[in-house]
Amino acid sequence: MTTQPNTWFITGSSRGFGRSLATAALKAGDNVVATARRPEQLADLAAEYGDRVLPVALDVTDATAADAALAAGLAKYGRIDVVVNNAGYANLSPVETTSEDDFRRQFDTNFWGVYNVSRAALPLLKKQGAGIVIQFSSVGGRVGHTPGLGSYQAAKFAVDGFTRVLAAETAPFGIRYLVVEPGGFATDWAGPSMQVDEIPAEYRETVGALADLLRGGGTAQGDPDRAADILVRLVHADNLPSHLLLGAGAVDMALTYSRGQIAEATAWQAVSASADTGADYPVDLPTPPKAPTAR
């Protein structure tokens, strides 16, 4: 059990998960380098917690700014124990009609921002010989297939793959990683920060259905303050999984997806193996499942 205070470096601290996590860490007695595009939005935290919180301006798409923000935190507190890549956003539109500029800008924040901060943190964590990097993904970064979120979910898949490689590369340095995969949470993720473009008629059944759900308030059951408390407890208890689903809906989606993956890989196992030199070839293709009989 960790007894000394940790120093957290949290991106996107002004609202949502980032704000909840900064507050939970401070309540636990830790120090927080709270970053945001507009650090004045963190004035109330600084007023309440004084010297234990350092508000810093950071646009995560700026690699130089990421270096400077981490350096400011190190100068203030002497070490960085937990790096949290939380900053991100999503716009909603079909891949076909999303402008290339919008698709790239989302990816710049949701993936390249994670890359910039993670890469800037590595020399500090290596020198310490310890540290935790928490990457906020989503259950969509595991199961995908949400119509209208092409750029966002592509970035979250990339974050997971990137983090798996980092974990393998830096294992000898005492750096550990946690990929957080929330389901629906009561944050403003789908609020004013989400741009919903005009949805063509042919995409009303898929992308339009999600747009209607989000406009109607959605079905978000997750409590971001509880999620933040769970993460702080994990860090203090030193009991860290590689991935953590948050919310019962996320768990159900992930388990259904994983069972489907196993069933599909098993059904096609003989075909897959036949690609190897010396293996039996050709082999019969699996029989497709029968469509339900209408009654």
Report d(CA 295, CA 292) in Å as an integer. 9
156 is an active site residue: yes
Domain 7-246 has CATH 1.10.1040.10: no
Rounded to 5 degrees, what angle do the CA atoms 147, 230, 12 make? 55
**What are the backbone dihedrals phi and psi of residue 99, each rounded to the nearest 5 degrees, phi first?**
-65, 150
What is the 8-class DSSP label of residue 247? S
At 1 the pLDDT is 46
Report d(CA 117, CA 9) in Å as an integer. 10
At 210 the pLDDT is 86
Cβ atoms 79, 128 nearer than 8 A: yes
- Tokens 């993720």 belong to residue: 189
152 is an active site residue: yes
Report d(CA 60, CA 159) in Å as an integer. 14
CA distances from 121 to 31, 84, 194, 287 (A): 17, 10, 29, 51
Residues with pLDDT less than 70, the chain: 1-3, 186-192, 216-220, 291-295
How buried is residue 194: exposed, middle or buried, by Cβ count under 10 Å (0-12/13-18/19+)?
middle
Written as six digits, the tokens of 200 are 């063509």
- Domain boundaries of the chain, sorted by first residue: 7-246
SS3 170: coil
Report d(CA 48, CA 26) in Å as an integer. 10
At 188 the pLDDT is 64
Q: Which of 13, 14, 151, 156 is catalytic?
A: 156
Q: Which of 49, 77, 152, 203 is catalytic?
A: 152
Q: Tell me, yes or no, if the pTM score tops 0.85.
A: yes
Rounded to 5 degrees, what angle do the CA atoms 181, 184, 186 make? 115
HSE-up of residue 73 (Cα within 13 Å, Cβ side):
31
99 is an active site residue: no
pLDDT in tens, 77-129: 999 999 999 999 999 999 999 999 999 999 999 999 999 999 999 999 999 99
SS3 166: helix
SS3 133: strand
**Torsion-angle region of 111 (φ positive above 0: left; ψ -120 to 50: alpha; else: beta):** alpha
At 213 the pLDDT is 81
Q: Which of 137, 138, 177, 203 is catalytic?
A: 137
Cβ atoms 254, 139 nearer than 8 A: yes
CA distances from 275 to 188, 269, 270, 279 (A): 48, 11, 9, 7
